[in-house]
Structure 1
């Protein structure tokens, strides 16, 4: 399995793109502005999108994807997410007001878009890759994802603050090779991080301390302009982990 980072920033500007991860050439995890980095021919190949939550920086590329290539595909793009996330998309995005409902275009019998609700403890296997939701603690219903392959596992936290449930789930993955976890704010902005349910370096360090597995750790969702300061604080708070910032264009293989 190959995971390509199309976007991993907590914002935009100077080439930054928001969260979108490409698994091989047919699956997306989140659909932020990083989706716009794909060539047209690559867009046509996207069959499945796994969403962590419905915030705009994680879904804004999805309507444009469908509008651009929906008529060229032989099957609908399937969006997988928690039921509460799909409800938000139905009411506030694909509602004929902000954007057309592609579950009805060109008709309900042959649409360009299909929703498939994921149970919090469910799993879906696609060509030998198993996608499982992971617990997350955010201001809206959210999850992360565990992607399992025969060569090992990768976990992505999505947007989250402290979560005992997430740590327990990660500790239950003995072959966890890569952990992509968010840290959005510097320590001095701890109060904002708590309010928005995001990590700051000291809270991330506490999560890592609770891990009984030893994956490579990649930090994502850094706020624009603060990346270097946040990473310096992460390395100070969590010495010995060798944490690195996830980079746009990076490829992780399993």
Structure 2
């Protein structure tokens, strides 16, 4: 599997895009503003979108992608999410008020988009690639994902805060090679991190102490303006884990 980071920032701005990752050429993990960097030919190839949760920075480009390429494709784009997240998308986004319901365009028998319900622990296998939802702890229903090529695995936590359930699963992944975990706020905003169910350096470092598997660790979702400060604070407390900052256009092959 080849994973390309399209966006990994906690906001937008010059050379900053929100969470989106391209697996090979046909799978998206979340669809933040980073999807807008893809060419038309690349957009047409996307068959599957796996959503961690319903917040706008993770889903904003699903409507634009489907609207742009839906009529060019021979089959619908499949959006995978939990039942709770799909309910939010139906009610609040693809509702004809904010955006058309592409599960009914051009008609229900031949839609541009379809939904697929997933749940924690269930495996979706696509041409030998396994995608498995993992527990997340956020202010809306959320999951992370394990991407398993058969040779190695990458775990993306999605947006989350303190989450013992995650580590009970992650620590059983024998072929874990990479861990991408969020840290949205600096230490001075620890109260905001707690209320919004994100991680800050002290919370993140406490979570990493629960990791018993060996993996390269990358930090995502840093807020601009305090991203460098947050990374310094993380490195000061992370000790043996030595995490790196996740970068736009970074590529993981596993």
Instruction: Sort the TM-score into its range (normalised by shorter chain).
Output: over 0.9
Partner of 1:234: 234
**TM-score, length-scaled by structure 1:** 0.99
| In 2: Cα distance, 1:121 partner to 1:244 partner | 28
Partner of 1:98: 98
Q: Does 1:243 align with 2:252?
A: no
| In 1: Cα distance, 2:218 partner to 2:15 partner | 20
Which runs of structure 2 are paired with 1:73-112 in the superposition (5 Å)?
73-112=73-112
Partner of 2:200: 200
Return 5+ residue gaps in structure 2 as ranges: none
Q: CA deviation at 1:6?
A: 0.2
Partner of 1:7: 7
Deviations 1:109-149 (A, max 9, x none): 00000000002221100011100000000000000000111
Q: Does 1:167 align with 2:152?
A: no
| In 2: Cα distance, 1:165 partner to 1:210 partner | 11
Q: Does 1:71 align with 2:71?
A: yes
Q: CA deviation at 1:151?
A: 1.6
> What's the secondary structure of 1:102's corresponding residue?
coil
Partner of 2:47: 47
Deviations 1:36-84 (A, max 9, x none): 0100000000000000000000000000000100000000000000100
Which runs of structure 2 are paired with 1:130-209 in the superposition (5 Å)?
130-209=130-209
Partner of 1:123: 123
Query: Which runs of structure 1 show a deviation greater than 3 angstroms over 4 or more consecutive aligned residues?
Result: none
| In 1: Cα distance, 2:84 partner to 2:139 partner | 13
Deviations 1:205-239 (A, max 9, x none): 11111111010000000011111100000000102
| In 2: Cα distance, 1:237 partner to 1:174 partner | 26
> What's the secondary structure of 1:240's corresponding residue?
helix
Aligned residues: 254
Q: CA RMSD in A?
A: 0.6
Return 5+ residue gaps in structure 1 as ranges: none
Q: CA deviation at 1:29?
A: 0.2
